[in-house]
Amino acid sequence: MLSAGIHHITAIAGDPQQNLSFYSEVLGLRLVKRTVNFDDPGSYHFYFGDGIGSPGTIMTFFPWPGARRGVRGSGQVTAVAFAVPRDSIPFWKHRLWENQVNAEEIAGRFGGNALRFIDPDGLLLELIESSVIPSEAEGSHSQPFRATSSGSLDDARDHGVMGDGIRGFAAPTLAIGRPERTENLLTEILGFEFVVEEQNRRRFRGSAGNVVSDIDVVSSRGDFGKVAVGTVHHIAFRAADDDEQLRLREQLVTRGLNVTPVIDRQYFHSIYFREPNGILFEIATDGPGFLIDESADQLGEALKLPPIYESNRAEIERTLPVIHLHHSTA
Ligand code: ZN
Protein backbone atom coordinates (compact mmCIF):
# COMPACT_ATOMS: atom_id res chain seq x y z
CA MET A 1 0.00 0.00 0.00
CA LEU A 2 1.20 3.48 -0.89
CA SER A 3 2.30 5.54 2.10
CA ALA A 4 0.59 8.82 1.33
CA GLY A 5 1.22 11.89 3.39
CA ILE A 6 3.28 14.95 4.07
CA HIS A 7 6.93 14.26 4.86
CA HIS A 8 8.04 17.81 5.62
CA ILE A 9 7.46 21.45 4.73
CA THR A 10 10.38 23.81 4.16
CA ALA A 11 10.14 27.58 4.46
CA ILE A 12 12.56 30.46 4.34
CA ALA A 13 13.36 32.38 7.49
CA GLY A 14 15.37 35.51 8.13
CA ASP A 15 17.43 35.57 11.32
CA PRO A 16 18.37 32.02 12.42
CA GLN A 17 18.29 32.74 16.16
CA GLN A 18 14.87 34.34 15.96
CA ASN A 19 13.60 31.35 13.96
CA LEU A 20 15.08 28.83 16.38
CA SER A 21 13.73 30.60 19.44
CA PHE A 22 10.23 30.96 18.01
CA TYR A 23 9.76 27.37 16.89
CA SER A 24 11.40 25.76 19.91
CA GLU A 25 10.47 28.08 22.75
CA VAL A 26 7.11 29.47 21.66
CA LEU A 27 5.73 26.58 19.59
CA GLY A 28 7.51 23.85 21.57
CA LEU A 29 8.90 21.90 18.63
CA ARG A 30 12.17 20.08 19.00
CA LEU A 31 15.17 21.05 16.88
CA VAL A 32 16.01 17.58 15.57
CA LYS A 33 18.79 18.52 13.17
CA ARG A 34 21.08 21.45 12.72
CA THR A 35 22.84 21.24 9.40
CA VAL A 36 23.55 23.37 6.33
CA ASN A 37 21.64 23.82 3.11
CA PHE A 38 23.32 21.10 1.03
CA ASP A 39 23.00 23.30 -2.07
CA ASP A 40 24.39 26.36 -0.23
CA PRO A 41 26.57 25.25 2.71
CA GLY A 42 27.10 28.84 3.86
CA SER A 43 23.56 28.87 5.24
CA TYR A 44 21.84 26.78 7.87
CA HIS A 45 19.14 24.20 7.45
CA PHE A 46 17.11 23.67 10.62
CA TYR A 47 14.78 20.72 11.06
CA PHE A 48 12.12 20.81 13.75
CA GLY A 49 9.83 17.92 14.61
CA ASP A 50 8.70 15.46 17.20
CA GLY A 51 11.20 13.56 19.37
CA ILE A 52 13.01 11.91 16.48
CA GLY A 53 11.74 13.94 13.53
CA SER A 54 9.23 11.37 12.32
CA PRO A 55 8.02 11.91 8.75
CA GLY A 56 4.88 14.00 8.93
CA THR A 57 6.10 16.13 11.83
CA ILE A 58 9.06 17.85 10.19
CA MET A 59 9.10 21.61 9.63
CA THR A 60 12.34 22.86 8.17
CA PHE A 61 13.84 26.28 7.50
CA PHE A 62 16.55 27.84 5.41
CA PRO A 63 17.45 30.96 7.40
CA TRP A 64 18.68 33.73 5.07
CA PRO A 65 19.66 36.59 7.35
CA GLY A 66 19.18 39.97 5.71
CA ALA A 67 17.35 38.59 2.66
CA ARG A 68 14.21 40.27 1.38
CA ARG A 69 10.72 39.21 2.35
CA GLY A 70 8.70 37.11 -0.04
CA VAL A 71 5.10 37.62 -1.09
CA ARG A 72 2.39 35.15 -0.20
CA GLY A 73 0.26 34.30 -3.22
CA SER A 74 -1.00 31.87 -5.79
CA GLY A 75 1.28 28.96 -6.67
CA GLN A 76 2.39 28.51 -3.07
CA VAL A 77 1.71 26.71 0.15
CA THR A 78 0.18 29.83 1.70
CA ALA A 79 -0.45 28.54 5.22
CA VAL A 80 1.44 25.95 7.24
CA ALA A 81 -0.99 24.23 9.58
CA PHE A 82 -0.06 22.25 12.67
CA ALA A 83 -2.35 19.83 14.45
CA VAL A 84 -3.03 20.40 18.12
CA PRO A 85 -5.26 18.32 20.41
CA ARG A 86 -8.95 19.03 20.85
CA ASP A 87 -9.69 21.71 23.45
CA SER A 88 -6.15 23.10 23.33
CA ILE A 89 -6.97 26.39 21.56
CA PRO A 90 -7.45 28.36 24.82
CA PHE A 91 -4.00 27.20 25.95
CA TRP A 92 -2.45 28.32 22.67
CA LYS A 93 -4.29 31.66 22.63
CA HIS A 94 -2.83 32.45 26.01
CA ARG A 95 0.62 31.17 25.15
CA LEU A 96 0.82 33.24 21.95
CA TRP A 97 -0.50 36.32 23.74
CA GLU A 98 2.17 35.86 26.45
CA ASN A 99 4.77 35.86 23.70
CA GLN A 100 3.41 39.00 22.01
CA VAL A 101 2.07 37.06 19.03
CA ASN A 102 -1.26 38.32 17.70
CA ALA A 103 -3.45 35.34 16.91
CA GLU A 104 -6.84 35.40 15.22
CA GLU A 105 -9.38 32.69 15.84
CA ILE A 106 -10.72 31.07 12.67
CA ALA A 107 -14.03 29.53 13.51
CA GLY A 108 -15.56 26.58 11.87
CA ARG A 109 -13.34 25.53 8.98
CA PHE A 110 -14.75 22.04 8.46
CA GLY A 111 -16.00 22.30 12.02
CA GLY A 112 -12.60 22.52 13.70
CA ASN A 113 -11.35 25.38 15.88
CA ALA A 114 -8.19 27.05 14.74
CA LEU A 115 -5.83 29.93 15.39
CA ARG A 116 -4.02 31.87 12.72
CA PHE A 117 -0.91 34.01 13.24
CA ILE A 118 2.38 34.85 11.61
CA ASP A 119 5.87 33.85 12.68
CA PRO A 120 8.61 36.49 13.15
CA ASP A 121 9.33 36.45 9.40
CA GLY A 122 5.75 36.76 8.22
CA LEU A 123 5.08 33.07 7.52
CA LEU A 124 1.38 32.36 7.95
CA LEU A 125 0.79 29.59 10.50
CA GLU A 126 -2.33 27.87 11.76
CA LEU A 127 -2.91 25.69 14.77
CA ILE A 128 -5.91 23.49 14.10
CA GLU A 129 -7.67 21.31 16.64
CA SER A 130 -7.56 17.99 14.96
CA SER A 131 -10.39 15.53 15.14
CA VAL A 132 -7.90 12.71 14.71
CA ILE A 133 -6.00 13.64 17.87
CA PRO A 134 -7.83 12.76 21.06
CA SER A 135 -7.73 15.34 23.83
CA GLU A 136 -5.15 14.77 26.55
CA ALA A 137 -7.57 13.05 28.88
CA GLU A 138 -8.35 10.33 26.34
CA GLY A 139 -4.71 9.55 25.71
CA SER A 140 -3.29 8.27 22.47
CA HIS A 141 -0.77 5.71 21.39
CA SER A 142 -1.16 6.29 17.71
CA GLN A 143 0.35 9.74 17.31
CA PRO A 144 3.96 10.12 16.26
CA PHE A 145 4.53 12.72 18.95
CA ARG A 146 3.97 10.13 21.65
CA ALA A 147 5.11 7.02 19.92
CA THR A 148 8.69 8.18 19.74
CA SER A 149 11.48 8.77 22.22
CA SER A 150 10.95 10.88 25.29
CA GLY A 151 12.91 13.69 23.68
CA SER A 152 9.89 15.55 22.41
CA LEU A 153 8.07 15.30 25.68
CA ASP A 154 11.11 16.46 27.62
CA ASP A 155 11.53 19.29 25.22
CA ALA A 156 7.87 20.21 25.34
CA ARG A 157 7.97 20.05 29.10
CA ASP A 158 10.92 22.43 29.13
CA HIS A 159 8.90 24.84 27.08
CA GLY A 160 5.67 24.31 28.94
CA VAL A 161 3.45 22.93 26.17
CA MET A 162 3.10 19.34 27.50
CA GLY A 163 -0.10 17.65 26.37
CA ASP A 164 -1.25 20.64 24.34
CA GLY A 165 1.75 20.36 22.05
CA ILE A 166 1.85 20.27 18.28
CA ARG A 167 1.50 16.76 16.82
CA GLY A 168 2.62 17.21 13.27
CA PHE A 169 0.83 18.88 10.40
CA ALA A 170 -2.89 19.52 10.15
CA ALA A 171 -4.05 20.76 6.75
CA PRO A 172 -1.64 23.14 5.04
CA THR A 173 -3.22 25.33 2.38
CA LEU A 174 -2.14 25.13 -1.26
CA ALA A 175 -3.37 28.20 -3.15
CA ILE A 176 -3.53 27.55 -6.86
CA GLY A 177 -5.16 29.04 -9.92
CA ARG A 178 -6.31 25.86 -11.66
CA PRO A 179 -6.85 23.18 -9.04
CA GLU A 180 -7.87 20.32 -11.30
CA ARG A 181 -4.47 19.10 -12.48
CA THR A 182 -2.92 19.47 -9.03
CA GLU A 183 -5.81 17.62 -7.46
CA ASN A 184 -5.42 14.84 -10.00
CA LEU A 185 -1.76 14.58 -9.11
CA LEU A 186 -2.63 14.30 -5.42
CA THR A 187 -5.23 11.60 -5.95
CA GLU A 188 -3.89 9.65 -8.91
CA ILE A 189 -0.20 9.56 -8.02
CA LEU A 190 0.44 10.77 -4.47
CA GLY A 191 -2.25 8.58 -2.89
CA PHE A 192 -4.52 11.26 -1.40
CA GLU A 193 -8.33 11.07 -1.42
CA PHE A 194 -10.81 13.89 -1.64
CA VAL A 195 -12.75 14.09 1.63
CA VAL A 196 -14.77 17.29 1.92
CA GLU A 197 -15.22 20.78 0.52
CA GLU A 198 -16.39 24.15 1.76
CA GLN A 199 -16.63 27.23 -0.47
CA ASN A 200 -13.40 27.32 -2.49
CA ARG A 201 -11.51 24.95 -0.18
CA ARG A 202 -11.23 21.24 -0.91
CA ARG A 203 -9.65 18.83 1.55
CA PHE A 204 -7.59 15.80 0.60
CA ARG A 205 -6.38 13.09 2.95
CA GLY A 206 -3.58 10.59 2.83
CA SER A 207 -2.41 8.03 5.34
CA ALA A 208 0.78 6.17 6.01
CA GLY A 209 0.51 3.61 8.76
CA ASN A 210 -1.52 5.39 11.42
CA VAL A 211 -0.36 8.89 10.49
CA VAL A 212 -3.02 10.87 8.65
CA SER A 213 -2.14 13.91 6.53
CA ASP A 214 -4.63 16.45 5.24
CA ILE A 215 -4.05 19.04 2.55
CA ASP A 216 -6.42 21.86 1.62
CA VAL A 217 -6.49 23.00 -1.97
CA VAL A 218 -7.87 26.52 -2.35
CA SER A 219 -8.56 27.94 -5.77
CA SER A 220 -6.96 31.33 -5.95
CA ARG A 221 -7.27 33.86 -8.74
CA GLY A 222 -4.91 36.25 -7.01
CA ASP A 223 -1.40 37.21 -8.02
CA PHE A 224 1.43 34.73 -7.92
CA GLY A 225 3.51 34.71 -4.77
CA LYS A 226 7.23 35.34 -4.63
CA VAL A 227 9.31 32.85 -2.70
CA ALA A 228 11.70 34.51 -0.21
CA VAL A 229 11.78 35.14 3.55
CA GLY A 230 8.50 34.28 5.24
CA THR A 231 7.16 32.00 2.53
CA VAL A 232 7.13 28.25 1.96
CA HIS A 233 9.88 27.02 -0.31
CA HIS A 234 8.47 23.53 -0.94
CA ILE A 235 6.33 20.75 0.45
CA ALA A 236 7.55 17.16 0.57
CA PHE A 237 5.42 14.05 0.37
CA ARG A 238 6.29 10.64 1.73
CA ALA A 239 7.64 7.59 -0.02
CA ALA A 240 8.02 4.50 2.16
CA ASP A 241 11.32 3.54 0.56
CA ASP A 242 13.55 3.95 -2.49
CA ASP A 243 11.51 1.53 -4.60
CA GLU A 244 8.28 3.40 -3.98
CA GLN A 245 10.04 6.67 -4.77
CA LEU A 246 11.29 5.32 -8.11
CA ARG A 247 7.81 4.05 -8.99
CA LEU A 248 6.35 7.46 -8.22
CA ARG A 249 9.09 9.11 -10.25
CA GLU A 250 8.22 6.98 -13.28
CA GLN A 251 4.57 7.96 -13.02
CA LEU A 252 5.42 11.64 -12.76
CA VAL A 253 7.72 11.48 -15.76
CA THR A 254 5.05 9.62 -17.73
CA ARG A 255 2.71 12.50 -16.95
CA GLY A 256 5.17 14.88 -18.55
CA LEU A 257 6.50 16.43 -15.37
CA ASN A 258 10.13 17.46 -15.20
CA VAL A 259 11.47 15.51 -12.20
CA THR A 260 15.01 15.66 -10.79
CA PRO A 261 17.05 12.50 -10.33
CA VAL A 262 17.15 11.06 -6.82
CA ILE A 263 19.24 13.33 -4.58
CA ASP A 264 20.80 12.11 -1.34
CA ARG A 265 19.75 14.45 1.47
CA GLN A 266 21.56 12.37 4.11
CA TYR A 267 18.43 11.89 6.26
CA PHE A 268 16.21 10.91 3.31
CA HIS A 269 16.38 10.63 -0.46
CA SER A 270 14.56 13.21 -2.53
CA ILE A 271 13.15 13.99 -5.94
CA TYR A 272 11.75 17.42 -6.84
CA PHE A 273 9.38 18.75 -9.47
CA ARG A 274 7.05 21.70 -10.08
CA GLU A 275 3.43 20.65 -9.92
CA PRO A 276 1.20 22.05 -12.69
CA ASN A 277 0.39 25.26 -10.75
CA GLY A 278 4.01 26.02 -9.95
CA ILE A 279 4.44 24.83 -6.36
CA LEU A 280 7.73 23.03 -5.78
CA PHE A 281 6.90 19.47 -4.70
CA GLU A 282 9.37 16.98 -3.29
CA ILE A 283 9.00 13.28 -2.61
CA ALA A 284 11.20 12.14 0.28
CA THR A 285 11.80 8.65 1.61
CA ASP A 286 10.94 7.84 5.21
CA GLY A 287 14.46 6.59 5.84
CA PRO A 288 17.21 6.61 6.82
CA GLY A 289 15.98 9.30 9.24
CA PHE A 290 17.60 11.67 11.69
CA LEU A 291 19.17 9.06 13.93
CA ILE A 292 21.85 8.06 11.44
CA ASP A 293 24.37 10.58 12.76
CA GLU A 294 23.14 11.50 16.26
CA SER A 295 21.51 9.64 19.11
CA ALA A 296 17.89 10.44 20.01
CA ASP A 297 18.84 12.43 23.10
CA GLN A 298 21.43 14.52 21.26
CA LEU A 299 19.44 15.40 18.15
CA GLY A 300 19.96 18.99 17.11
CA GLU A 301 22.79 19.64 19.57
CA ALA A 302 25.71 19.68 17.13
CA LEU A 303 26.17 21.11 13.66
CA LYS A 304 25.97 18.07 11.38
CA LEU A 305 27.51 18.13 7.93
CA PRO A 306 27.16 15.59 5.15
CA PRO A 307 30.43 13.74 4.39
CA ILE A 308 31.13 15.88 1.31
CA TYR A 309 31.42 19.01 3.46
CA GLU A 310 33.26 17.56 6.49
CA SER A 311 36.64 18.64 5.13
CA ASN A 312 35.36 22.25 5.00
CA ARG A 313 33.92 22.19 8.51
CA ALA A 314 36.17 24.89 9.97
CA GLU A 315 35.39 27.31 7.16
CA ILE A 316 31.66 26.53 7.22
CA GLU A 317 31.50 27.06 10.99
CA ARG A 318 33.26 30.40 10.62
CA THR A 319 30.77 31.51 7.97
CA LEU A 320 27.56 30.52 9.74
CA PRO A 321 25.95 32.98 12.15
CA VAL A 322 26.45 32.10 15.83
CA ILE A 323 23.31 30.71 17.44
CA HIS A 324 22.43 29.61 20.95
CA LEU A 325 20.33 26.51 21.36
CA HIS A 326 18.92 27.06 24.83
CA HIS A 327 19.01 30.73 25.54
CA SER A 328 16.08 30.72 27.84
CA THR A 329 13.63 28.26 29.29
CA ALA A 330 10.09 29.26 30.03
ZN1 ZN B 1 12.69 19.26 1.37
Distance between CA atoms of 98 and 199, rounded to whole angstroms?
34
DSSP three-state, residue 57: coil
Cα–Cα distances (Å) from 297 to 86, 149, 150, 237, 310, in that order, read 29, 8, 8, 26, 23
What spacing in Å lies between the alpha carbon of 247 and ligand 1's midpoint? 19
Domain count of the chain?
Answer: 1
Please report, in tens digits, the pLDDT of each residue of the chain (330 residues total). Answer: 678 999 999 999 999 999 999 999 999 999 999 999 999 999 999 999 999 999 999 999 999 999 999 999 999 999 999 999 999 999 999 999 999 999 999 977 888 899 999 999 999 999 999 866 644 444 443 333 433 333 444 455 556 787 899 999 999 999 999 999 999 999 999 999 999 999 999 999 999 988 899 999 999 989 999 999 999 999 999 999 999 999 999 999 999 999 999 999 999 999 999 999 999 999 999 999 999 999 999 999 999 999 999 999 999 999 999 999 875 444
CA–centroid distance, residue 94 to ligand 1 (Å): 32
Residue 325 in any domain: the answer is: no
Distances (CA, A) of 223 to 74, 129, 220, 323: 6, 30, 8, 36
1: in domain: no
Predicted pLDDT of residue 133: 60
pLDDT recorded at residue 134: 46
In a domain, 98, yes or no: no
Q: How far is the CA of 45 from the centre of ligand 1 (A)?
A: 10
CA of 275 to the centre of ligand 1 (A): 15
Residue 112 included in any domain? no
CA of 97 to the centre of ligand 1 (A): 31
User: Is residue 129 within 8 Å of residue 85, measured between CB atoms?
Assistant: yes
Ramachandran area for residue 56 (φ above 0: left; ψ -120 to 50: alpha; else beta): left
How far away, in angstroms, is 8 Cα from ligand 1 center?
6
User: Containing domain of residue 275, as a range?
Assistant: 6-82+140-319
Query: Which pLDDT belongs to residue 158?
Result: 54
Q: Residue 212 in contact with residue 180, Cβ under 8 Å?
A: no
Q: Is the bond preceding residue 288 a cis peptide, omega within 30 degrees? A: yes
pTM assigned to the model: 0.92
Asked if residue 52 lies in contact with residue 150, where contact means CB atoms within 8 angstroms, the answer is no
pLDDT in tens, 272-321: 999 999 999 999 999 999 999 999 999 999 999 999 999 999 999 999 99
Q: Is 137 left (phi over 0), alpha (psi -120 to 50) or beta?
A: alpha
167 found inside a domain: yes
Classify residue 26 by its DSSP letter: I
- Residue 299 domain flag: yes
Residue 235: inside a domain: yes
Identify whether 88 is part of a domain.
no
Ligand 1 midpoint to CA 113 (Å)? 29
Burial 146-172 (b: 16+ CB within 10 A, else e): bbbbebbbebbeebebebbbbbbbbbb
Task: Output the pLDDT for position 7.
Answer: 97
Ligand 1 geometric centre to CA of 179 (Å) = 22
pLDDT at 112: 85
CATH number of the domain encompassing residue 291: 3.10.180.10
